[in-house]
Amino acid sequence: MVALIESAVVWLKLRYVAMTPDRDLGSGVNKKLVSQVSNLSSLGMDAKLVLIGIINSDGPYSDYIAAYPLRDITGRNIVMRVRRLWEMRRIFRNTIRFLGASDILYLRGSAPILSCPFNIIRCFRTCKLVIEHQTIEEKELKLNNQSLEIWLDRLFGDFLRKQSDAIVCVTDEIAEYQLRNSGHFAKPHVTIGNGFEVATVSMRRSPILQSDEVHFLCVAMINPWHGLDRLLQGLATYNGTSKVILHIAGDGPELPRLRQLTDDLGIVDRVIFHGFLSGRNLDALFDQCHVAVGSLGIHRIGLKEASILKAREYCARGIPFIYGISDPDFPVDFPYILYLPADESPIDIEGVLAFAKKVCGDPDHPQKMRRYAEEHLDWSVKMKTLKEFLETMVGNNSA
């Protein structure tokens, strides 16, 4: 009987190769990568994260993380850039060579396209190639004016999509785009929204909502699609009796423009830029604030729905939040989200204050939000679905 049970198990080796966009291992994206792999490991898979990038920390790393810090290169040092590209190709080559027919090379997006050696082509590899997509890359690159990256994605990105054996996406809208560009609508695919490691953060102690002062909080690696300029415009036109303070915790390419806009609008006394925070400092800020700020500009990259990491953290911490996009992981009548128009209009501060007053009137709202996150958003739930999909894919492809 034991032998029969063991023979029915599909043992998978998975190597998750990701180009980390952030220097800090505690950033939202890096925490997501680690959580995905750690939960797959806890489900019985031989899973390891191959993390490549400019990382501040030298470790120590967990057994399921193989980190490859790269040298930070600025300016036009072509020789050093070529060396770094060659090192990245070596990491890919060494990763792929140890993967067999029932193993999986799992890539986060098409970012590593220039680093992928010819081993990625089907005739040169035996392992399965699965690509996870978080966005419609070309639209996001256009918003950031990354013309070279757009050209590279058109040239090599579709090639990588065509070579893939399966696609994982965070929304159905993104899945439809990726399948179309892969040229194969019947390609195995699954939609799994982003998750969050709920146990890694404390539940917020909800502050009493005083009518004379209300605190908003945005925690993110700030980019144009967060739409914080809309909130600043709303603060500038708000003339109500409550004093509204916006706290921005995080770094990012959009920060200089937001600082300048805050100064131009004359609201420097109502916006506090904290920079990157973590640990107890971030916990204390959550305990101080009444409403969190989700992404308000996703429409700028042409999306009608999204699966934003910070929205899951907000829910896990138990803080109601505003959102400018539909999210498939939350019902439309979810009482702890205020959905705002997906356009360029300034945010209606009075409407947000009314929302805060209504939600904060229920002293148990943090516990209710936390429970929802544990049952629907935790990575343990999400990765169980992914594991089942990967096992089915390997079984189908090897049949």
Give 256-277 pLDDT, tens digit per residue.
999 999 999 999 999 999 998 9
Give the pLDDT of residue 260: 98
- Assign 114 a pLDDT band (cuts: 50, 70, 90): low
Cross-strand partners of 13: 46
Burial (CB count <10 Å: 0-12, 13-18, 19+), residue 141:
buried
Which residues make Cβ contacts (< 8 Å) with residue 149, sequence separation at least 6?
141
* Number of Cβ within a 10 Å radius of residue 137: 24
The pLDDT assigned to 394 comes to: 83
Distance CA 66, CA 21 (A): 16
- pLDDT for 150 equals 74
Helix (H, G, I), strand (E, B) or coil at 13: strand
Q: What is the mean pLDDT of the chain?
A: 86
Question: What is the mean pLDDT of the segment spanning 103-121?
Answer: 72
For 25, the token pair is: 């291992």
For the record, the structure tokens of 392 come out as: 């089915």
- Going from N- to C-terminal start, the domains of the chain cover 11-191, 199-377
State residue 211's pLDDT score: 74
Beta bridge partners of 48: 15
Model's pTM, two decimal places? 0.85
Please tell me the distance from the alpha carbon of residue 169 to that of residue 385, in angstroms, as a whole number: 13
Separation of alpha carbons 245 and 46, rounded Å: 47
pLDDT tens, position by position, 138-180: 787 777 777 777 777 777 778 888 889 999 999 999 999 999 9
Q: Taking the chain, what is the end-to-end CA distance rounded to the nearest angstrom?
A: 24
Task: Please report which confidence band the pLDDT of residue 66 belongs to, taking 50, 70 and 90 as the band edges.
Answer: confident
The pLDDT value recorded for residue 161 is 85
Give the chain's count of helices (H) and strands (E).
Answer: 14, 13
CATH of domain 199-377: 3.40.50.2000
Cα–Cα distances in angstroms (integers) from residue 72 to residues 35, 69, 144, 222, 284, in the given order: 26, 9, 21, 21, 33
CATH class of 11-191: alpha beta
Domain pair 11-191 / 199-377, same fold: yes
Q: Is 325 helix (H, G, I), strand (E, B) or coil?
A: coil
pLDDT recorded at residue 82: 77
pLDDT at 399: 38
Reported as a single tens digit per residue, the pLDDT across 5-57 is 333 344 689 999 887 766 666 666 788 888 999 999 999 999 999 888 766 66
